[in-house]
Amino acid sequence: MATSGKVIRCRAAVAWAVGKPLSLEEVEVAPPKAREVRVKIVATGICRTDDHVIEGSFLDIDFPVIPGHEGAGIVESIGEGVTSVKPGDKVILFGLPQCGECCFCKNPDSNYCLKSHLSVSQCLLPDKTSRFTCRGKQIHHFLWISTFAEYTVVPEFTLAKIDAAAPLDKVCLLACGFSTGYGAAINTAKVGTQLCPGQVHRSHPQKRSATASSSSRGRLSRPHVVQVKPGSTCAVFGLGGVGLSVVMGCKAAGASRIIGVDVNKEKFARAKELGATECISPRDFQKPVQEVLTEMTGYGVDYSFEVIGTADTMTAALASCNMNTGVCVVVGVLPTGSVVPIDPLLFLSGRTCKGTLIGGWKMRDSIPKLVSSYLEKKFNSDLLITHTLPFAKINEGFELLRAGKSIRTVLLY
């Protein structure tokens, strides 16, 4: 391409300092170095995590920074040694790398990579320099991908080539929101089996006599028959873009009951469209929501998901799953340094609490497959997109999110 090897001047949304609105700026984007790729971003989603970055509550971010982590685009140029993509390829960028070399990448049961931001800061590229400058100042990268820029430079192991037929303005959500929620249900929780038998039905004596022939063959020699209800029960705390993707994952996995929990009732209609069987607002009850869910289900749900990111909802989600075989999956993250007070008695009877990072997917391996599934209409992540805006209206997109009016806004460049 004509721009290959040259500095590109383009627009980007810069967060200059904590708490300040994003500022649309002209930035310089240097060419990619070895094992790096420069990508022309075509579309990016706005995720709540970007808002956490702007307000300064997300894990050790250096300012000024270009946020954004739900992007899809086209490769503009590649650095030395890049083998998996070439200029012109459609790609999705993701904030969870897959270096392929660390012990976790080599472990088939793990999707955590030791090059992730929780282990090494991703505010500068792996060689500890930035490719962005603005008004003479160095600007930091975010999760190595900074998708709120018309062009970005990323390490090769934070992107994957996808089917050329994929609509980038739709599949960008697979970079984070959709994959995180859907994977939390199908990979992390492995929703599908009912862990707690729920109601036990003792067979009625008259019905038993109706199967006398079976009885005579000794099949009903046990005192009662337990009918395990098919499917499992789930509660999803938080019906934003990620929580709704959990709902979709629970449905795809065959859950029979999916209870959405959100204080914003405007989220209920979309949640039901995507698979929630019922929705409740904790504000409608005098008692804690975990007690409400336990009463609704008998023993508590088989799987609960915390997709909000507050200490109270984490405690409530844990207490909502059944005391023995219940599994609580925590998706949300609290501001750095926060702690959640938990009564250890909640674990004593056997409950499990698990974390999940981008839904457990090994991203470089999984993204092309998820895109194929999208194209084959195995799921409809388009239903998460409530707004589409030009990139210049990025702050309007954040206002919609903060006002609870949007699920996902996709910005087009």
Residues of the shown chain interacting with Zn ion in the complex, contacts defined by CB under 5 A: 47, 49, 99, 102, 105, 113, 176
Q: Does 261 bind ligand COD (CB under 6 A)?
A: yes
* Binding positions for ligand COD, 227-256, rule CB under 6 A: 237-243
Q: Which H helix or E strand runs over 256?
A: none
Question: Which residue, 68 or 300, is less far from ligand COD as judged by CB?
Answer: 68
Q: Does 67 bind ligand COD (CB under 6 A)?
A: no
- Residue 304 in tokens: 């609960």
How far apart CA 97 and CA 1 sit, in angstroms, is 27
Strands (E), 126-207: 132-134, 137-139, 151-155, 159-161
Q: Does 258 bind ligand COD (CB under 6 A)?
A: no
How far apart CA 68 and CA 90 sit, in angstroms, is 18
How far apart CA 25 and CA 28 sit, in angstroms, is 10
Contact between residue 277 and residue 236 where contact means Cβ atoms under 8 Å apart: no
Give min distance, CB of 282 to ligand COD, in A: 6
Q: Does 311 bind ligand COD (CB under 6 A)?
A: no
Q: Is 164 exposed, middle or buried (0-12, 13-18, 19+ CB in 10 A)?
A: exposed
Partner interacting with residue 166 (select from Zn ion, ligand COD, none; CB below 5-8 Å by kind): none
Question: Which residue, 198 or 309, is less far from ligand COD as judged by CB?
Answer: 309
Q: Does 310 bind ligand COD (CB under 6 A)?
A: yes
| Beta carbons within 8 Å of 223's beta carbon, 6+ residues apart | none
Cis peptide before 197 (omega within 30 of 0): no
Partner interacting with residue 241 (select from ligand COD, Zn ion, none; CB below 5-8 Å by kind): ligand COD
Question: Which residue, 254 or 335, is less far from ligand COD as judged by CB?
Answer: 335
Question: Which residue, 310 or 352, is less far from ligand COD as judged by CB?
Answer: 310
Taking CB under 6 A as the rule, which mask of x and - marks residues 148-187 in contact with ligand COD?
----------------------------xx--x-------
Q: For 267-297, b where at least 16 C-beta lie within 10 A, e where not — what string?
A: bbebbbebbbbebbebeeeeeebbebbbebb
Interface region with ligand COD, contact rule CB under 6 A, candidates 75-83, 224-232, 309-317, 369-377: 309-317
Q: Phi and psi of 275, rounded to 5°?
A: 135, -10
* Binding positions for ligand COD, 316-355, rule CB under 6 A: 331-333
Q: Does 309 bind ligand COD (CB under 6 A)?
A: yes
Per-residue DSSP letter, 301: B
Question: Which residue, 42 or 175, is less far from Zn ion as judged by CB?
Answer: 175
Chosen residue from 40, 48, 251, 270 binding ligand COD by CB under 6 A:
48
Question: Which residue, 323 or 333, is less far from ligand COD as judged by CB?
Answer: 333
How far apart CA 98 and CA 364 sit, in angstroms, is 6
Question: Which residue, 74 or 120, is less far from ligand COD as judged by CB?
Answer: 120
Give min distance, CB of 115 to ligand COD, in A: 16
Find how far residue 411's CA is from the centre of its chain. 18
> Can you give the binding site for ligand COD, defined by CB under 6 A?
47-49, 176-177, 180, 237-243, 261-264, 267, 282, 307-310, 313, 331-333, 358, 404
